[in-house]
Amino acid sequence: MKLVFDKKFLKDVRKIPIKQQHKLATLLEEVTINPFASKLHTKQLSTPLQGLYSFRINREYRVLFRFLDEETVFLTHVKHRKDIYR
């Protein structure tokens, strides 16, 4: 699986705590193998975010992404769970 990063995603990563940045790096390796791995807790989102998916970094932080094609994951945002779905 290939990963593509939105500029907003890269900007968001710089804003999260360093501990979550390190965990995200580990989880991104897992996404390249299987974006629906159980430890990611991947969820398909409903309206108004239909077409997007999210996975957990930890209890507080989430990553939003979508599939560009069968082999490409486009990472759009990483934020606190209270802000990510707005």
Q: Where are the domains of the chain?
A: 2-84
pLDDT at 61: 97
Element of type H or E holding 72: strand 72-80
Length of the chain: 86
pLDDT at 85: 87
2-84 classified as CATH 3.30.2310.20: yes
> Does the reported pTM lie above 0.75?
yes
Tokens of 55: 């996975």
CA distances from 46 to 6, 9, 40, 85 (A): 21, 21, 18, 10
pLDDT at 65: 98
Q: Tens place of pLDDT for every residue, the chain, 86 residues?
A: 999 999 999 999 999 999 999 999 999 999 999 999 999 999 999 989 999 999 999 999 999 999 999 999 999 999 999 999 88
DSSP annotation of 69 = E
